Every structure is written in C-alpha cells, then in structure tokens.
C-alpha cells in the first residue's frame, strides 16, 4: 500500500495485492512459504468471480473509509493482519529492513520495531519471517 496525506486529508492511496489462485506448484525457493487458494481449499476457483468479489469488497471498504474516516480502516486491518507481533522484512527501494510488526500509524504506515527503534514504512514489499 502506498499513499499520501496532506494536512490530515488523504490525497491518494494505492493498494496492491497478490493472490495465488489456482497455482499448484511453486519454485523451490517459495515452496515452504507460498500457497494458493486452490491448495488451501482443495478446489479450483473462477478467477473472474473472485476478482469481482474482491472489487466489491474494496468498494464497500472505501465507502466505510469515506463515512467513518481512516481510523476505521486501521481497526479493521489490525483485527485481521496476520503479520502483527511477528518478525517481518520490508523491502523498499533496494533496502531490506527486518523487525517486529507492531501495527499501523495513524497515517497508515506500517510500524516495525528494529534494533530497539520503531520505523514506519508507507511503501514496500512485506514478508512474514515466522508465524
């Protein structure tokens, strides 16, 4: 996720997700970490139907954001985020930082604790190191 806030007002938010839908095999480097919906649920999925449901959910969440403000998004994310209280890496602009995922800042940045300090990231690729 990436975004911009000016004077407490959201200018824009860019959200990107990756979902392995019907993939059955992964490269050796990912075999211990990656899965797919098909492997997890033991069935095939219609990708167009799945995309439709995801977009409808995002539209609903966007309406909640407009109605209730960003704090509602932070609450929902915190409730469902699997990375919280786990070791993660954040890769951004060629720099990899490892630390403990603590939560989201009021501006929506991911807070991690590393080397006794808290760092906030507003963009990057996140990998959960252990669960």
The pLDDT of residue 7 is 80
Domain count within the chain: 1
Domain span including residue 63: 2-128
Instruction: Note the pLDDT of residue 111.
Output: 93
Pairing between strand 117-121 and 2-6? unpaired
Q: Mapping DSSP to helix (H, G, I), strand (E, B) and coil, where does residue 2 land? A: strand
Tell me what pLDDT residue 72 has. 84
Q: What is the pLDDT along the chain (131 residues), one digit of tens a residue?
A: 667 778 877 777 777 788 999 999 999 988 888 899 999 999 999 999 999 999 999 899 889 888 988 888 888 888 888 888 899 999 988 899 999 999 988 888 899 999 999 999 988 888 888 76
CA 47-127-33 angle, 5° bins:
65
pLDDT for the residue numbered 131: 60
The CATH number that applies at residue 45 is: 2.30.30.100
């Amino acid at each position: 996720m990436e975004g911009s806030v000016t004077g407490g007002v959201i200018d824009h938010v860019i959200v990107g997700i990756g979902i392995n839908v019907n993939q059955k095999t992964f490269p050796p480097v990912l075999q211990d970490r990656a899965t797919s919906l098909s492997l997890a649920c033991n069935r095939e999925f219609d990708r167009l139907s799945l995309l439709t449901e995801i977009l409808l959910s995002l539209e609903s969440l966007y309406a909640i954001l407009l109605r209730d403000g960003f704090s509602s998004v932070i609450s929902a994310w915190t409730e469902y985020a699997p990375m919280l209280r786990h070791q993660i890496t954040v890769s951004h602009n060629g720099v990899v930082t490892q630390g403990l995922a603590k939560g989201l800042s009021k501006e929506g940045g991911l807070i991690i604790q590393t080397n006794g300090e808290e760092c906030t990231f507003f963009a990057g690729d996140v990998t959960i190191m252990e669960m």
